[in-house]
Amino acid sequence: MRIEPQMTKRLRLLGGVLLVLGLFTCSGDRAGPGEFCEQDVDCRDNLVCRNNICVSPSGDECVPACQEGVETCFQGQCVPVGNPDDKDEDGFLIGQDCNDFDRLIHPGSPEYCDGIDNDCDTEIDEGCPPCRDGDSRECGSAIGECMLGFQLCTGGIWEPCNDTRPSIELCDDLDNDCDGLTDEICPCRNGDEHPCGLDEGICRTGTQICEAGSWSGCRNGELPQLEICDALDNDCDGMTDEGFGLGLDCTAEGECGQGSYECAGDLEIRCDTMPGASHDGSEPEVCDGLDNDCDGLTDEGMESDDAPNTCVLAEDLGGLPDNGSQIHIEGNLWPQGDVDWYKVTASDNLEEDMEDLCDQFHFRLRFDSNPDDLLVDIYVDGCDGADVDCRDDNEYDYAYDDRWLTAGQPPRGQCPCDPNDVQDYNICTKEDRVFYIRIHARDGQVTTCQNYRLTLSNG
């Protein structure tokens, strides 16, 4: 196609006009005061876009905007928001604190039953009694800009609360972090005052005063505290002792039975049927295989004797003459594995034997009561294994008070006896004996705290 020289000249002029128009559009001034805008960058410097109109910022606005979470705007100036690494000023820095907007949530804080990880250990409501499925309740706080919500119990655990939680405190005449104080991190004009606190629970309203450019604490007021289990609303959220599971069903130790949870200290709860609780169901411990005193132990303290567990330390019962005297013993093999050792000296009165020409010595052991079917071992005159005269029996006799004849052997016994050496008669002699008695259970037997009773006699 051939273009005439005159046409070329006209195209060059048109391109120049377009170029000039294009340059004018790119470099033209941004919107001035009162002109249309969509965002701040559409307006000239020192103007902001409000309601699609470029206007001068108010005295409380900061241009450019302050760094979110680090600064806040105060009288047109960006000022630091407290400690940016510890916004709730609870002493725990970002990285340690799992909620840096709530001063009551941090490592080491008590864990409440509220669907929140209060102690920042990545677990929620650990150690809490299970809630009743389907129950719902009010939760959260209505202090400052916070708003109450509701939560539902599912699977025995409270779901998260749908409340409005604390946020970073700003210089906006609001209590953003819901601690009862307003703009406490902001600069102020000396002598200015504003109210603080609230009249709810233990809290009382007071006054903050600006001193040396900073707000004071809440003077003559009482601010929310950590909720403790004391029938008071310590955190001033309109609820008392929330987060402790009070009133939920519980089962106490032992025989104390069913009850409901109640306060047992500032941060502790207990079943109200436990010892010392409001409906104490405990009784003194007795020997019945039950935990009567509700301490988690059964029949503790029911050992009824202090007989030693070794032969050399056997409990010495003293002497037992052969005139028909008796000694009564009562004890038990409790706790499991116990054994009892006793020592008794059975004496033989030779003078009476010589008068009667009959030795009355006859040592007997008999159980009067043996509920656990216990056994005895008898050692005579020593604790050596060679001295054992009887094993695993439930009665025992050792006597001279008769005459026993065995074919081809000398007679035994000393009744009758003779002071002289007479054929077929034993000589009357004094033969005292020391008996060591071991009371024990059968192999593999489970004993109880029920008492055995036995009688030792001689003559």
Expressed as residue numbers, the domain containing 453 is: 315-458
Instruction: Tell which wins on pLDDT, 81 or 398.
Output: 398
Residue 23 belongs to a domain: no
333: which 2 tokens? Answer: 């093999």
Summarize the confidence of residues 32-53 as an average pLDDT: 90
Which is more confidently placed, 290 or 68? 290
What are 81-129's pLDDT values in tens digits? 777 788 888 899 988 999 988 888 999 999 999 999 999 999 999 999 9
- For the residues of 338-386, what is the DSSP string, one character each? --EEEEEEE---HHHHHHHTS---EEEEEEEE-TT--EEEEEESSSSGG
Q: How confident is the model at residue 378 (pLDDT cuts 50, 70, 90)?
A: very high
The average pLDDT across 24-53 equals 81
Asked if residue 419 is part of any domain, the answer here is yes
pLDDT of 435 > 50? The answer is yes
Kindly report whether the peptide bond that precedes residue 64 is cis, defined as omega within 30 degrees of 0.
Answer: yes
Averaged pLDDT, 408-431: 84
**pLDDT value for 16:** 42
Q: What is the mean pLDDT of residues 47-69?
A: 82
For the chain, the residue count is 459
Look at residue 8 and tell me whether its pLDDT is greater than 50: no
Q: Is the pLDDT of residue 329 over 90?
A: yes
404 occurs within a structural domain: yes
Nearest-angstrom CA–CA distance, 311 and 29: 112
pTM check: above 0.75: no
30 domain-assigned: no
Contact 164, 149 (CB under 8 A): yes
CATH number at residue 335: 2.60.120
Output the pLDDT for position 137.
Answer: 93
Instruction: Please state the domain count of the chain.
Output: 1
| For range 342-366, the mean pLDDT | 93
Of 83-97, 137-151, 255-269, 311-325, give the lowest mean pLDDT range. Answer: 83-97
- Evaluate whether residue 412 is within a structural domain: yes
Q: Quick check: is 233 in a domain?
A: no
Average pLDDT over residues 252-268: 96
Q: Residue 69's pLDDT band (boundaries 50, 70, 90)? A: low
Q: Is residue 47 part of a domain?
A: no
Q: Quick check: 75 pLDDT over 80?
A: no
pLDDT digits (tens, 9 = 90+) for 207-236: 999 999 889 999 999 999 999 999 999 999
Alpha-carbon gap, residue 332 to 305, rounded angstroms: 7
Stretch 174-203: mean pLDDT: 91
**Is residue 360 one of the residues assigned to a domain?**
yes
φ and ψ at 210, to 5 degrees?
A: -80, 120
Residue bearing the bigger pLDDT, 102 or 457: 457
